Amino acid sequence: MDVAAFWDLVRSALGLDQLLAAQALAKTIQVLIIVSITVWIAQWLSRVILNTAKARRSYAEVAALASRAAALAVYAAGTTVVLAILGASWTAIAAVLGAATFGISLSLQDVGRGFVNGIYILIERPFRIGDRIRIGAAEGRVEEVGVRITALRTPAGERVIVPNTVVFSSIIENSSVGALDRQKYTAGGIERPIAEIQSAVVESLRGTPHLSHRNPTVDIIQASPEGTDIEVTVEHDLGHSIDDHVIERLRVLFPEATVSTKSPAGAG
């Protein structure tokens, strides 16, 4: 039995005429094309948002949330187009999407409120990682700021999780604002390419206890075939010594370099 005869047999068994079969094949191809384009655009847009946020050193949580929201919007648009290709009317699609959105919003009111509050906190930044704050009865140093929760580390070493809905509705006492000092460090004989040094230092010192949320300043003192010498300026909480932490991280980052402390650069 040849292919044509087999196809005629299948078409006869399914009750399809040639026109209907051609239309079904055309719709299948269109759906596959739309699905492929939708997935590609969603992934591409997510990467663009994440890379842009990383280049601008924005909060990773905000970038992740924005990338997911953008991807969901693209998928929703692609699904709408697919439904239209399959014959659903735009009125029916709009009604279904509206009902689904309304139902989801009712069931996820608290979750949605928490996300909105978290976004507000991440954008307004009433406190930074490393700040010592009080939120109601909870007091400690900020260890993590997410879209749903804020994590504090108490003086006793306990980790306290505060929902952002509580943070948003509470009075926040930030005792770290304005109480900063500066310290300089030198590292000589670095063998890493100059273009990579600053970003490597920023990433290495991120999360250092008592260090300011502001990125350290990296100045190139000199560059030669023997290596690059740099000066790193950081801000830290007044009254706290950070030399051991900073020097240890710089030595781990640049094991071939000589790392030392300079005299303080003055109060900030």
User: SS3 for the chain, per residue?
Assistant: CCHHHHHHHHHHHHCCCHHHHHHHHHHHHHHHHHHHHHHHHHHHHHHHHHHHHHHCCCCHHHHHHHHHHHHHHHHHHHHHHHHHHCCCCHHHHHHHHHHHHHHHHHHCHHHHHHHHHHHHHHHHCCCCCCCEEEECCEEEEEEEECCCEEEEECCCCCEEEEEHHHHHHCCEEECCCCCEEEEEEEEEEECCCHHHHHHHHHHHHCCCCCECCCCCEEEEEEEECCEEEEEEEEEEECCCCCHHHHHHHHHHHCCCCEEEECCCCEEC
Model pLDDT for residues 117-153, shown as the tens digit of each residue: 666 776 667 777 777 788 888 888 888 877 678 889 8
Provide the pLDDT for residue 173. Answer: 80
**Residue 63 confidence (pLDDT):** 65
How many residues belong to the chain? Answer: 268
Instruction: Scan for tokens 């079969």, then name that residue.
Output: 21
Higher pLDDT, 106 or 180: 180
- 126-174 topology per CATH: SH3 type barrels. (2.30.30)
User: What is the location of CATH 1.10.287.1260 in the chain?
Assistant: 3-107
HSE-CB at 43 with a 13 A cutoff on CA atoms is 6
What distance in Å separates the CA atoms of residue 93 and residue 82, rounded to the nearest whole number?
11
| 87-91, 152-156, 248-252: which is most confident | 248-252
Which residue ranges does the chain devote to CATH 3.30.70.100?
A: 180-267
Separation CA 128–CA 236 (nearest Å): 12
Return the CATH number of the domain spanning residue range 3-107. 1.10.287.1260
**Would you state the torsion angle of the CA atoms of residues 174, 175, 181, 187, taken in this order, to the nearest 10 degrees?**
-60
Q: How confident is the model at residue 190 (pLDDT cuts 50, 70, 90)?
A: very high
**pLDDT value of residue 111:** 55
Which option is the CATH number for 180-267: 2.40.30.10, 3.40.630.40, 3.30.70.100, 3.30.200.20? 3.30.70.100
Q: Which of 37-41, 146-150, 206-210 has the lowest mean pLDDT?
A: 146-150
